[in-house]
Amino acid sequence: MTMLPVDIDFSRLKEVLTYDPQAPMIFSSGIFLWLFTAFMIVYVLLQRKNTARILFVTLFSYYFYYKSSGTYFFLLAIVTVCDFLLAQWMDHTVGRWKRKGLVTLSLCINLGLLVYFKYTNFLGGAIASLMGGEFTTLDIFLPVGISFFTFQSLSYTIDVYRREIKPLRNLLDYAFYVSFFPQLVAGPIVRARDFIPQIRKPLFVSQEMFGRGIFLIASGLFKKTVISDYISINFVERIFDNPTLYSGVENLMGVYGYALQIYCDFSGYSDMAIGIALLLGFHFNLNFNSPYKSASITEFWRRWHISLSSWLRDYLYISLGGNRKGKFRQYLNLIITMFLGGLWHGASWNFMLWGTFHGIALAVHKMWITFTGRKKGEGSHGWRRVFGVIITFNFVCFCWIFFRNADFDNSIDMLKQIFMAFNPQLFPQLLEGYWRVFALMLLGFLLHFAPDRWENALCRGVIRLPFLGKALLMVALIYLVIQMKSTEIQPFIYFQF
């Protein structure tokens, strides 16, 4: 029997498996699908060998980060080792000031890395402008996900400092927690208190977990590659790149399109991260809960990027004094927290302005609650709620204009077009020219505003499908993605943060 020669192009294989700055690995890429399939085979084989499985996942997570940011995976190792040792030291330290010094050192290491890689050029330019000098921009690469894993590691050391959790004794376990690949590069920010108890538990994936994981992966993939990418490439980018070339009605539709795009993009990533974690036997908390259904800006931040908003509340807002030092301080703390939340998103005035707008809105809403005497947690109902949802959605969309536009002048141009050159008579022509985009936008908003029970029923339906049915669902969705995708893979928006 003659064996057929296997022709393997090793140079091409090496090219695929090494880091490509033009094509970082993301969940919706083909290379991830093949690697994850191979990963799952080994993962299942190691299901009864806890330490070997944890080591394997950690190594794969570091490779995943290498495929996203190249050799900068060493930053992940620096943060991991430093915070692990500092937490150990804190646990054996009794003196209050010594413990404060150790947690401050953790803050300096994590925020120092964040400031250097993310804010050096911005701060240098701002200082040079104030001093009347010139600043030469430095060529500093921004590692993907550095804002997420530094905040995640900080939550661990701060919780150890507050004696809310006991530190881990095993460096491998901590490396597993910080680097766990499903949420490594774009969240959600997973708290140590939620995740660490799951690390050494026997691997168990129930039928409900598996089905829900498949549903979330399919849902996230659909939101990202079918809705978000399509409306971005074919409509939203064109409007935001040249707002003055379009009428006010086109600009407004572009803003609404971006509101849907960023939601589908980011919540799509979160859905896939949570779904993949479920397939591996781990539970993450919900990160998005239909945020555009919110009837107030306070409710919006309880539904949007929940892991970040709760992080800012617990580690920044409360540390500033929260609502314990009077009403004025509460309002000021809200504005400072959201200003810094805007700065977390990027070294740019537009992000700071976006955060400040949200901070002021939160403060105004708290004032309104105090003025009307409404009880904490009491929501609006009926037409009052409908009115609140409309106002909140449009305010959030107004803020998205400044979030999306790096150039302040572009934001002003968009607002001028919307308020001074609206031209509503062009809408039928716009609808005819971009009917596919508007059909997807309509579908996206209908799915978003649909009752939660519909989504839960659909999820239960996927859970009840046999394994072959779940596999066919994923194949059909991947086929749809291939048919609709652009020539280039669109990275997730939050990769830049």
Residue pair 280/204 in contact (Cβ under 8 Å)? The answer is no
- Can you give the C-alpha Rg of the chain in angstroms? 24
Catalytic site includes residue 283: no
Number of Cβ atoms within 10 Å of the Cβ of 341: 24
322, exposed or middle or buried, with CB in 10 Å at 0-12, 13-18, 19+?
A: middle
Residue with tokens 């400031």: 115
**Helix, strand, coil distribution of the chain in percent, nearest 5:** 75, 0, 25
**Choice among 92, 305, 345, 365 that is catalytic:** 345
Number of Cβ atoms within 10 Å of the Cβ of 353: 17
With left for phi above 0 and alpha for psi between -120 and 50, is residue 94 left, alpha or beta?
alpha
- Structure token pair of residue 54: 């944890």
Number of Cβ atoms within 10 Å of the Cβ of 17: 13
Coil vs helix vs strand at 88: helix
Biggest CA–CA distance in the chain, Å, is 88
440, exposed or middle or buried, with CB in 10 Å at 0-12, 13-18, 19+?
A: buried
Report the C-alpha gap between 324 and 310 in whole angstroms.
Answer: 18
Which amino acid would we find at residue 73? F
Q: Closest by alpha carbon to 459, among 207, 204, 216? A: 216
Counting Cα atoms < 13 Å in the Cβ hemisphere of 252 gives 18
Which amino acid would we find at residue 196? I
Which amino acid would we find at residue 418? I
Residues 6+ apart with CB under 8 A from 441: 231, 256, 257, 260
Residues 6+ apart with CB under 8 A from 23: 29, 489
Cα 191 to the center of its chain, rounded Å: 15
Which amino acid would we find at residue 166? K
- Structure token pair of residue 115: 């400031």
Catalytic residue numbers, as ranges: 345
